[in-house]
Structure 1
Amino acid sequence: MADGSAALRTVKTTCAYCGVGCGVAGAVGEGRSVLITGDAAHPANLGRLCSKGSALGATVGLEGRLLEPTINGKSANWHEATALVARRFKETIARHGPDSVAFYVSGQLLTEDYYVANKLMKGFIGSGNIDTNSRLCMASAVAAHKQAFGADLVPGCYEDLELADLVVFSGHNAAWTHPVLFRRMEQARARGQKHVVIDPRRTDTAEGADLHLAIAPQSDVRLWNGLLADLVRRGAIDRDYIASHVNGFEQVTAALVESDQSLSAVAADCGVAIEDLRTFYDLFAANARTVSLFSMGANQSAQGVAKGLAIINAHLATGRIGKPGACPFSITGQPNAMGGRETGGMANTLAGHMDFSPEDRDRVARFWGAPDTTRAPGLKAVEMFEAVRDGRIKAIWVMATNPAVSLPASGAVRDALAACPFVVVSDCVETDTTAFAHVKLPALAWGEKDGTVTNSERRISRQRALFPPPGQARADWKIMADVATAMGFDGFGWASNAAVFREWARLTAYENRDRFLSLAGLSALTPSAYGELLPVQWPIGVDGEGTPRLFVDGRFQTPDRRARMVPVLPKGPAELTSAAFPMSLNTGRIRDQWHTMTRTGLAPDLCRHAPEPYVEIHPEDAEALGLKDGALARVSTARAEAVAVAKVSDRQRRGSLFMPMHWTDAFAPSGRANALVEPRVDPTSGQPEFKHTPARVRPYRETWKGFFLSRSALMSPLGADLVWRRIPQDACQQYEFAGRGDVAERDVLRKALTKRLAGELVTYEDAATGARREAWVEGDQLVAVLYMTTTGRLPSRDWLVDLFQADLTAEARSALLFGRPPGGPVDKGPMVCACLKVGAKAVTAAIAAGADTADAVGAATGAGSNCGSCRPEIARMINAFLVTPKEPVRAD
């Protein structure tokens, strides 16, 4: 934090995380200190921030940063690195053609970066081989929008979430993934808004909903088709709207009658109670103001496009689109996934929502002055890395993303990168993917970037730099522009990011007779006006005014201006479970982490709510398998094996497993979830199936376990055969580990951990229990702690972690040997509120003392009073206490 007595420079920018696009005010102090608050004037969040956004100030340090170009691991200057990348790409293209190279880009890029990447690859290299990690998040929604509306158009705005009388969350755990929007809807519930959650898991969003439909995996289309059939039976469709604005209704209803659409049949196929199904259908029929939010739970599927279309069909048939509080709403996962979709970041689109029709392609080519502009789509993400592996792609440039962790079957992705003749990675930090780079290029991080992003409601916001570039780091657009120039291409000589943005805005307006995406009113921005640009939603007219809601007049971007309903048929899982793999593995996100932890992993507070990789399993499944809560479990699929902590919970559907996808080689190499996932994709969108992979799980059965606390992070991994996890703490790094070997394995680990430690060694060993306790002390400072055991229990880590933050007393030194804190145990319990560091013990104590609402708990402890993302968990703890009262709990 900056010194409050000093005058601080406040910069208004946009959050680095999800698609909500929250405004952030950063009060910048000396060095790289910054005080982060929400921007009360920004319409996306009105001053609110979630736990991740609130902790942005803890992530702006230079730990792990790339600060200079490197070639084959050796320092280089920008001229050398740029020249090499340009030469290798030119040579590869000359020998093997333009489709032998590829770019894999990211929703972490700014719109200006995305535009330059797309122009270089599709316009001047002449290949469609540029795709974005948004392919993993929103590609199915894009395809559904294009089929139904004629273009990738999100109809609604955030105001609709407050105006709606019914919100349906389809595969969307908003309480964790979009908590700021969830708070807005939570407030709307006070006036009577109803919530229905469609999700196999009982998430925090589902926990407090009016209705939770825990459907069987891959039964979404069946559920929504059944809804449409029920609306037709009731006469609850809007025939006037259909007659005036919609094609395909008859074909869709004809397809429905080919299967039994009775409530009993749909309920049986979806695995839900018929009463619950009827309640959902009643609610949908009764509430004209309905918003259906769908996110990765629906999109990340081999049937993702069908799911999106089934949701849209229900809205078109009832006229619930283009109206206040009524729309199907695809909610994006990344801060600039929309900006990438707009600029052509996906392999199957051109910039400005144009496609590969001869007319669109020629228009873009004329605007760019690039006659070699590609005439066909390129390879989508999964196909792209398959082409890298089999040698069709011989040079790839990865920008601001970590496919060695995030893509399905990530082990195969690593094999592909290892075999590729030329790999370039431009990023701000070292990642699992940079380990495969022949050339690493240092890019700007969130706190240094300057440009624009587009959020889920089509709102363009400015991202502004808080700090000057560190070391030799450069803007991504500038890195690419310099490479393009070195390759001999004209048209990349922009003087500033404002100039890039103006060109992009002009392209959206160029020969635009029917495209909704237009930034015409921003195409002549001066550098000063660009710098001061306020949040605005496209389409943007020549007067500079934005458009909150699309399709208000019932006109769409199809040739006849009518929306299209598309028949979709339900299918079972693409790969059924078997005796070898009898369970269904679902991967996803958790509340306080982001993607592969390259940013959130720097904030200790964000690592405490879910500190280790875990696998969630139903109690009956766990009992049958001999799995205990908190024990290590081995999760296997046909692709790989991972080890994670078993989390036994009835919030998980029987026969299903859930694993978060965030952990990496730097934090828990044995806990990487996406290595387990089969790379099946939706045939239309190319989006991978992350929600259903046949799997099995069994106990890990370690023979010993331990932990190591150290003031500094280890310089090298602990070994591939050892199960270990790193948990950042405020003043130290915590390593948890377990093994299946003997004393020799433990000795090898001990030597690796302690060979560079200095100071006085305090040690205790008990051969009978295999217990070993060692501590290194230098002066009054604790340097490191190592505890191991083969049969005994390990003590709470909280009190040991706290010892690193103060001078050691004589009593504390003794406690290190005894293995327990002086004055009784100190255990704060699992973290509940990451913002204010409130643990479960304090929350439970407040509940036991009479706090019977989330607000009351907040008043007593502070928990839930900041961003509110922990309020559903607090409510769940209150309900559990009321059902089963417990003895009074002391808050440590």
Structure 2
Amino acid sequence: MLDVISKSGAVAAVGAAAAPATATRTTCPYCGVGCGVLASVDKTGVARVAGDPSHPSNFGRLCSKGSALGETLGLEGRLLHPLRRSQGDGFERLSWDAALDAVAAGFKRIVDRHGPDAVAFYLSGQLLTEDYYVANKLMKGFIGSANVDTNSRLCMASAVAGHKRAFGADAVPGCYEDLDAADLIVLVGSNAAWCHPVLFQRIMRNREARGAQLVVIDTRRTATAESADLFLRIMPGSDQALFSGLLVHLAESGVIDSDHIERRTTGFEAALAQARRIAPSIAAAAVSAGLPETEVAAFFDMFARTARVVTAFSQGVNQSAQGTDKVNAIINCHLATGRIGKLGSSPFSLTGQPNAMGGREVGGLANSLAAHMGFEPESVDRVRRFWNAPRIAEREGLKAVAMFEAVARGDIKALWIVGSNPAASLPDADAARGALQKLELLVVSDNVRSNDTINSGAHLLLPAQAWGEKNGTVTNSERRISRQRAFLSPPGETRPDWAIFSDVARRMGFPGFDFRSAACVFREHAALSAFENAGKRDFDLGGLAELSDDAYDALEPTQWPIRPGESAGRSRLFGEGAFNTPDGRARFVAPEKPTLASALTADYPLRLNTGRVRDQWHSMTRTGTSPRLARHAPEPFVEINPKDAKAAGVEQNGFARVVTAHGSCVLRAIVTERQPTGHLFAPIHWTDETSAQARVGALVPPCVDPISGQPESKAAPAAIAPCAFARQGVLLARRPLALPRGMWWARLAVAGGFAYRIASDAQASFWLDFLRRNGSEDVVEFFDEAQGLLRAAAFRADRAELFLALGRSPPPVDAGLDLSALDKLSASQRLELLSGATAPRDGESSPVVCACFGVSERKIDAVIASGCTDAAEVGRLLRAGTNCGSCLPEIRRMIAKRRG
């Protein structure tokens, strides 16, 4: 178990009054694994964060991001008071009463003039279930529009749609225990080693202890693929061809469960006939997927002869214009073999956000009502009566991409965005940003004072509580509800999101929003799930509907359904009981033939895939404040195959401009064989707050799955070309800087301040003037024009406020930049700094490989050179790879390289 102590100093401002106490059991705010966390704050305001060994999702393990939570709790950049846009681009402070009155009056005015569909909410998978519930009740139940959607639409909507088509409800059949018991685990479109590392290490332990086999299916060789027994590098868009071929193979090999198909399903013959049209043979499946026939045959044989199979899928499946069909093609293979809802056997959706599942439970998606009900007349009537909501929405609202298109057209005139940054994360992000500027009223509830969305014209800013300050529940990928508990005092005037929504509802004159606490909200949410249910709907929290406040506070992690009279949930669904369809049978779904939304052209001959890196989260609002999380991948980058790089003239560690029909980015080029020819990969995390020209969302086309509404983010037609700058280097600053236009930069947190990795054609005189304007007039410099070297620092007394080092070559990835190293410098030390004899760092200057324990590449390479021959031995010596294990593929790669 890893124990991390925050040394930021900023944490003291948050919890200075807190006394040492027993750690608070809470839940990590990152991915859908839902890891338990132990958190506490001592008298000095230092936060301690550790994994909760009693939580069944992680048993004490945390990934690198979760391990660094204690470093992300400072108040720098926090939104602490309600603000209203004043003249120009500034904001003025106002009271909560004035802010809430303005929101309520603005929404009411627009609804009265233009009708309820002229307003919308855009929510976040990082909200708590209680927040989601009240927002959904307000908009759908009382304002009367279903224009409530969420950034979860961008990551798991296709899984939801696939579940509903197959099972009749959005219910995940399996649980994490299945990853321990399976004999074959198939990961499809999932870089779990980086994105769900705690679960991935669970898979690895099963492999080591029981001999389970791992198949990885992906379009690029990820860290996950490096650990696979069989890696299938498929062509984008070919997932349903591969799994259609598998269904045909299962039928022809006689391993289908005919009794299960006959008694518990419908539509098998039609689905099989369509599968035969798509991939009638192993050879045909191989051609469609762009794979060697022998590899496809090996996978089909492994699946056919293994009784216990878990097929886990994530964004590589979901983020597609045919994502729902891909999900159903996978589910079809499990339904055909009866491998569903049984120990070690199920299709399994790995959720991307901490409470995407909880949002789905309460109707956070525009095409669903609360408690997993849809817009069927009987469901609308049921929710109307429960809420006493005569104006309830009676039809689906606009999904995320369509919602912002309606904003651009002027159909939606007021939008409330909560805990999300769509100006950076939506596809065609430049168009989304432009749309926001057309709104009559843009309200943003968040815990940051500035981001791309706020800077796109927000009129009102409402300060929300952040992780560590708020109370409620989240639901993880295995349907497990866990408590998120406060262990910090809320700073400033921040408030829970559910309370903000409730206050606005009351000001609009709506009854039913007199919630006193998160527990009150949860009880109503649970009661609705059981209302007129009687076992007909799997989502049922009736057993929790009468929890006392104390029982809610003490609620242990538990899975649903928990029906009235029950005290524990159910691990698996559909193994024996009926499905949620009218006849109780699961539906086989015949997928459409594989296709991609956008064709390649002479102008855009490559496919751009977007995704995540190991140590960052979404738009880096939280992880971007941790110095050690910045040390593995400090810059926005694009991966490209050596052949494509040579053809385009792009060099390793040089810059490249990536262009699509919707936008362009300038990114550091990483030339690697792990990326297939014809394909690029770029991470999604950087925004205009943290970089210049690196908002990858601006490159993604607004093409969506026609069923789920989820955008295709993995196969945009793109072009790439080299991009050169005269000088590049590092700028250190004690505070965030506004860097001039026309240059490239990426900001990362370092000890004591910020580092900017920069590239520019500007002359030395420009930079010296910049240091004077932003630091002080006391600037010392060293300039070698022949070598293109510039080193300079701006001082106040004996303390350097800014430090600049520029040259013609890329700067090293420095593992230990530290602004405190620039304090109290003598005249001789100034000269040493400028000459390069010393550097502003704490410890060695080598990239960090293991972020959990801060172990650098240099240290790992040294022990490998001394004779370490496996990753376990490296772990025993350095601890690297012994916590979340997400660095193990890289350590193994280093060992293989050293051994030749």
Q: TM-score range by the shorter chain?
A: over 0.9
Q: Secondary structure at the match of 1:734?
A: strand
Structure 1 residue 260 displacement after superposition: 4.8
Instruction: Identify the match of residue 725 of structure 1 among 725, 737, 746.
Output: 746
Q: Secondary structure at the match of 2:862?
A: helix
Contact 1:423–1:439 (8 Å) recurs in 2:
yes
Aligned match of 1:76: 94
Instruction: Identify the match of residue 123 of structure 1 among 97, 117, 141.
Output: 141
Instruction: Identify the match of residue 751 of structure 1 among 769, 792, 800.
Output: 769
Query: Is 2:35 the partner of 1:13?
Result: no
- Describe the superposition over 1:297-351 as per-residue Cα deviations: whole angstroms up to 9, x where unpaired: 1000000000000000000001000100000001101110000000000000000
Instruction: Identify the match of residue 664 of structure 1 among 687, 706, 712.
Output: 687
Q: Secondary structure at the match of 2:714?
A: coil
Query: Is 2:896 the partner of 1:879?
Result: yes
- Describe the superposition over 1:642-668 as per-residue Cα deviations: whole angstroms up to 9, x where unpaired: 011001111111100000000011211
Distance 2:767 2:149 in 1: 42
- Describe the superposition over 1:563-604 as per-residue Cα deviations: whole angstroms up to 9, x where unpaired: 110111332211111110000000001111001000000111
**In the superposition, relative to structure 1, how do residues 795 and 414 fare at CA in structure 2: closer, same or farther (>3 Å)?**
closer
Structure 1 residue 750 displacement after superposition: 4.1
Distance 1:667 1:247 in 2: 51
Query: Is 2:545 the partner of 1:528?
Result: no
Contact 1:618–1:654 (8 Å) recurs in 2:
yes
Q: Secondary structure at the match of 1:419?
A: coil
The normalised TM-score by structure 1 is 0.96
Distance 1:728 1:824 in 2: 13
Q: Which amino acid aligns with 2:490?
A: P
Query: Is 2:387 the partner of 1:368?
Result: yes
Structure 1 residue 805 displacement after superposition: 6.7
Query: Is 2:368 the partner of 1:340?
Result: no
Query: Is 2:580 the partner of 1:562?
Result: no
**In the superposition, relative to structure 1, how do residues 822 and 147 fare at CA in structure 2: closer, same or farther (>3 Å)?**
closer
Instruction: Identify the match of residue 832 of structure 2 among 806, 810, 815.
Output: 815
Structure 1 residue 279 displacement after superposition: 1.0
Matches within 5 A, 1:19-34: 19-30=32-43, 32-34=45-47
Structure 1 residue 778 displacement after superposition: 4.5
Aligned match of 1:44: 57
Instruction: Identify the match of residue 255 of structure 1 among 274, 285, 296.
Output: 274
Contact 1:811–1:822 (8 Å) recurs in 2:
no
Distance 1:100 1:796 in 2: 49
Structure 1 residue 829 displacement after superposition: 2.9
The normalised TM-score by structure 2 is 0.95
Total equivalences in the alignment: 877
Structure 1 residue 463 displacement after superposition: 0.4
Aligned match of 1:889: none
- Describe the superposition over 1:834-870 as per-residue Cα deviations: whole angstroms up to 9, x where unpaired: 1111111111111111111211111222211222221
Matches within 5 A, 1:777-788: 777-778=795-796, 780-788=798-806
**In the superposition, relative to structure 1, how do residues 822 and 415 fare at CA in structure 2: closer, same or farther (>3 Å)?**
closer
Distance 1:49 1:426 in 2: 29
Instruction: Identify the match of residue 281 of structure 1 among 274, 285, 300.
Output: 300
Structure 1 residue 135 displacement after superposition: 0.3
Range with bigger deviation, 828-837 or 282-291: 828-837
Contact 2:626–2:749 (8 Å) recurs in 1:
yes
**In the superposition, relative to structure 1, how do residues 797 and 568 fare at CA in structure 2: closer, same or farther (>3 Å)?**
closer
Instruction: Identify the match of residue 154 of structure 1 among 172, 177, 200.
Output: 172
Distance 1:823 1:362 in 2: 66
Query: Is 2:651 the partner of 1:621?
Result: no
Q: Secondary structure at the match of 1:500?
A: helix
Aligned match of 2:162: 144
Contact 1:795–1:819 (8 Å) recurs in 2:
no
Matches within 5 A, 1:854-869: 854-869=871-886
Contact 2:147–2:403 (8 Å) recurs in 1:
yes
Distance 2:442 2:431 in 1: 16
Aligned match of 1:839: 856
Aligned match of 1:607: 630
Contact 1:28–1:34 (8 Å) recurs in 2:
yes
Distance 1:279 1:705 in 2: 49
Structure 1 residue 802 displacement after superposition: 7.0
**In the superposition, relative to structure 1, how do residues 467 and 799 fare at CA in structure 2: closer, same or farther (>3 Å)?**
closer
Contact 2:821–2:841 (8 Å) recurs in 1:
no
Contact 2:267–2:589 (8 Å) recurs in 1:
yes
Contact 1:9–1:29 (8 Å) recurs in 2:
no
Structure 1 residue 876 displacement after superposition: 2.0
Contact 1:586–1:658 (8 Å) recurs in 2:
yes
Contact 2:20–2:43 (8 Å) recurs in 1:
no
Aligned match of 1:654: 677
**In the superposition, relative to structure 1, how do residues 584 and 163 fare at CA in structure 2: closer, same or farther (>3 Å)?**
same
Aligned match of 2:88: none
Aligned match of 1:383: 402
Query: Is 2:490 the partner of 1:465?
Result: no
Distance 1:711 1:259 in 2: 59
Q: Which amino acid aligns with 1:159?
A: E
**In the superposition, relative to structure 1, how do residues 109 and 630 fare at CA in structure 2: closer, same or farther (>3 Å)?**
same
Q: Which amino acid aligns with 1:154?
A: V
Structure 1 residue 782 displacement after superposition: 3.4
Matches within 5 A, 1:154-303: 154-190=172-208, 191-303=210-322
Contact 1:781–1:804 (8 Å) recurs in 2:
no
Query: Is 2:709 the partner of 1:690?
Result: no
Structure 1 residue 258 displacement after superposition: 2.6
**In the superposition, relative to structure 1, how do residues 822 and 69 fare at CA in structure 2: closer, same or farther (>3 Å)?**
closer
Distance 1:860 1:259 in 2: 52
Contact 2:813–2:845 (8 Å) recurs in 1:
no
Contact 1:204–1:873 (8 Å) recurs in 2:
yes
Structure 1 residue 825 displacement after superposition: 14
Contact 2:186–2:309 (8 Å) recurs in 1:
yes
Q: Unaligned stretches of 5+ in structure 1?
A: 885-892
Contact 2:751–2:817 (8 Å) recurs in 1:
no
Q: Which amino acid aligns with 1:593?
A: Q
Instruction: Identify the match of residue 621 of structure 2 among 574, 589, 598.
Output: 598
Q: Which amino acid aligns with 1:785?
A: F
**In the superposition, relative to structure 1, how do residues 51 and 728 fare at CA in structure 2: closer, same or farther (>3 Å)?**
same
CA RMSD of aligned residues (A): 2.0
Contact 1:578–1:694 (8 Å) recurs in 2:
yes
Distance 1:747 1:89 in 2: 52
Distance 2:606 2:664 in 1: 14
Contact 2:182–2:309 (8 Å) recurs in 1:
yes
- Describe the superposition over 1:473-531 as per-residue Cα deviations: whole angstroms up to 9, x where unpaired: 00000000000000010110111111111001000000003000000110001111111
Distance 1:822 1:16 in 2: 36
Q: Which amino acid aligns with 2:554?
A: E
Aligned match of 2:505: 484
Aligned match of 1:428: 447
Query: Is 2:829 the partner of 1:829?
Result: no
- Describe the superposition over 1:240-278 as per-residue Cα deviations: whole angstroms up to 9, x where unpaired: 111111111111112223345222222122111111111
Instruction: Identify the match of residue 704 of structure 2 among 676, 681, 703.
Output: 681
Distance 1:516 1:536 in 2: 15
Q: Which amino acid aligns with 1:597?
A: M
Q: Which amino acid aligns with 1:524?
A: E
Q: Secondary structure at the match of 2:277?
A: coil
- Describe the superposition over 1:412-437 as per-residue Cα deviations: whole angstroms up to 9, x where unpaired: 01001111111000001132112221
Q: Secondary structure at the match of 2:401?
A: helix
Distance 2:410 2:426 in 1: 19
Q: Unaligned stretches of 5+ in structure 2?
A: 13-17, 86-90
Distance 1:442 1:402 in 2: 15
Aligned match of 1:519: 541
Aligned match of 1:405: 424
Contact 1:771–1:792 (8 Å) recurs in 2:
no
Q: Secondary structure at the match of 2:774?
A: coil
Matches within 5 A, 1:785-804: 785-789=803-807, 791=808, 797=814, 801=818, 804=821
Matches within 5 A, 1:544-583: 544-583=567-606
Range with bigger deviation, 225-234 or 854-863: 854-863
Distance 1:809 1:230 in 2: 75
Q: Which amino acid aligns with 2:413?
A: K
